């Protein structure tokens, strides 16, 4: 048997590594087991099933994204903070596309723990907007708008949906962020009226 004393953490770490290097849709429990020099069935001593493992990778991904975002906005406020946040988000999606995809495909609906982890994604956005004079309700809506813009842009860019025209994709992104800042300023005026 030559047991090596693998832990649950080892398996999650190996899964993350494999997803990052081989791509999310080349991931399989059998190949993961093989890399750990174990049979696939043995994985079930540490995890319930693939979904659970996937969820664990999701926690990691969300915490990494949050870390990158909080780091980006530290010491900044208003437009500068929003732009830095958008940049960090974009960079994360481009530099770690497979890990980013995990976040996107997380089963938010059924899983309560994942649902709570969703607040980790929201928090940096709320912080970045704190410098604007907005109502709580406005911020709740605007947070959704911001996430929509960033997620929509990054996932379409990643999928190759932005090749119809020869204009620079980075310029398009900056325009999208500018649009959001316009909306922020406009909402601020409304709140003060």
Chain residues binding DNA by CB under 7 A are 1-7, 27-31, 33, 37-42, 44-46, 49-51
Tokens of 13: 């770490």
Distances (CA, A) of 33 to 40, 56, 174, 190: 5, 17, 43, 57
Q: Which listed option, a second copy, DNA, none, makes contact with residue 4 (CB within 5 to 8 Å by class)?
A: DNA
- What residues line the site for a second copy (CB under 8 A)? 104-106, 108-109, 115, 118-119, 122, 137, 140-145, 147-153, 155-156, 159-165, 167, 169, 171-172, 175-176, 178-180, 182-183, 186-187
Please give the Cα distance from 153 to 138 (Å, whole number). Answer: 22
Q: Which listed option, DNA, a second copy, none, makes contact with residue 38 (CB within 5 to 8 Å by class)?
A: DNA
Q: Toward a second copy, which CB reaches closer, 75 or 166? A: 166
Q: Is 49 left (phi over 0), alpha (psi -120 to 50) or beta?
A: beta
Q: Which listed option, a second copy, DNA, none, makes contact with residue 30 (CB within 5 to 8 Å by class)?
A: DNA
Please give the Cα distance from 22 to 14 (Å, whole number). Answer: 12
Closest CA to 42 of 99, 94, 4: 4
Q: Which listed option, DNA, a second copy, none, makes contact with residue 165 (CB within 5 to 8 Å by class)?
A: a second copy
CB 30 to DNA: min, Å? 3
Residue for token pair 């601020």: 188
Closest CA to 122 of 144, 97, 100, 149: 144
CB 47 to DNA: min, Å? 8
CB 8 to DNA: min, Å? 8
């Amino acid at each position: 048997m030559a047991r090596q004393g693998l832990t649950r953490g080892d398996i999650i770490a190996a899964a993350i590594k494999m997803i990052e290097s081989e791509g999310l849709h080349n991931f399989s429990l059998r190949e993961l087991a093989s890399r750990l020099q174990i049979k696939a069935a043995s994985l079930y001593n540490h995890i319930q099933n693939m979904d659970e493992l996937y969820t664990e990778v999701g926690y990691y991904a969300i915490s990494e994204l949050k870390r990158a975002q909080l780091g980006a906005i530290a010491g900044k406020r208003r437009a500068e903070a929003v732009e830095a946040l958008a940049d960090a988000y974009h960079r994360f999606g481009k530099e770690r596309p497979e890990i980013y995809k995990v976040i996107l495909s997380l089963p938010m609906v059924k899983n309560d723990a994942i649902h709570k982890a969703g607040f980790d994604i929201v928090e940096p956005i709320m912080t970045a907007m704190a410098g604007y004079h907005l109502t709580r309700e406005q911020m709740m809506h605007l947070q959704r708008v911001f996430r929509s813009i960033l997620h929509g842009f990054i996932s379409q860019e990643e999928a190759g949906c932005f090749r119809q025209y020869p204009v620079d994709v980075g310029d398009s992104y900056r325009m999208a962020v500018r649009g959001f800042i316009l909306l922020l300023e406009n909402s601020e005026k409304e709140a003060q009226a």
